[in-house]
Amino acid sequence: MTPRPAPQTHSHAARRKPSRSLLRSALPQASAGHHVLCLGYEQAMSLDITGPLQVFASANDMRARQGLAPFYVISLLAAEAGPITTSSGLQMLATQSYKDCKVDANCTVLVPGGDGVDLAQHDLALRQWLQAAEPVVQRMGSVCSGALVLAQAGLLQDRAATTHWCRVQELRETHPDICVDHDRLHTYDARDAQARHLFTSAGVTAGIDLALALVEDDLGSAMALAVARHLVMFVRRPGGQAQFSPLLTPEPSHAPRLAQLLEWIPGQLGSNLGVERLAQQSCLPPRTLARVFQRELGTTPARYVEQVRVQAAATLLGQRQASVATVAKLCGFGHPESLRRSFHKHLSISPQAFAERFGSG
């Protein structure tokens, strides 16, 4: 990799969409020595970087066991060569400045997310480099909230995109020209020339799913399977599957007036948990309880209970401890059809499909 001149500033309107479309329609397959370039910055999330890169490194390890040469060349780039401090406090060493990195058609560029994305998305030099690199590289994608960086660079206009669930609304509001889909793990699609060239992924571990999809496209399903087994993870979570996100009981400090009630609810899922029962348990009038739920949790008592029931049902189905009908009764749904409707509402998947895909037995 040799230095290249600093790219010129481009406005969104001045970008040459037709020429890039022609380039994408004729994208080559990755070849040996494929460069995976991950862009690091201060306060990036370490797992957004190490998760996907470990998938590519493990593919190289699998090839070595077969007596084959490494396929991927993996690099961490930053504004300047040297250490960056991630949001976990872990320091990582960027081996080269992206400003000095000349990319070509055998490169994949990945942009991670993290707390530092709020500054990174407004880094003019980074945006300019991405704008210049995008038409040249074979692939460019984001992990988690890294989608905000690509969006700010004007690269996701009129495209389907996703990001971490907690930044979905921000992406929608700040970039209304992007088709934001909160129910996608990633938007990479090897069958579509555009979605194979420029793509996004959702929360943290979805970056690993994305990397596995890239390995499968590059080296075949057998290699992707070998890597998944080596990393003890699911072989594939389809990109269109919902993000299985925050159906977790909040910390008591985040909802002090509800702390005891929230600890009590999980043990009572099979019983009546209507507003009157919850109000009685919390020693609050029903209307007051509803206001406290809205203020401290941003939801209603009924919706919260439904979320906890879905979470409990997902745990039981994942452990394959009971049938769907039994799980529906144990978790307070009564009938399997009610469980099915709630699963589709919150997870965009049926209970049966969830058990088959995530069951541990």
Rounded to an integer, what is the distance from CA 287 to the centroid of its chain? 37
Q: Report d(CA 315, CA 101) in Å as an integer.
A: 46
Q: Report d(CA 207, CA 337) in Å as an integer.
A: 33
Q: Report d(CA 207, CA 239) in Å as an integer.
A: 11
Catalytic residues: 144
Q: Report d(CA 329, CA 282) in Å as an integer.
A: 25
Tokens standing for 25?
């329609």
Residue 348 DSSP one-character state: S
Phi/psi at 61 (5° precision): -65, -45
> ∠ at Cα 246 (317, 113), nearest 5°?
120
Q: What are the residues facing 92 on neighbouring strands?
A: 84
CB 266 within 8 A of CB 308: yes
Count of C-beta atoms within a 10 Å radius of residue 272: 9
Q: Report d(CA 165, CA 270) in Å as an integer.
A: 29
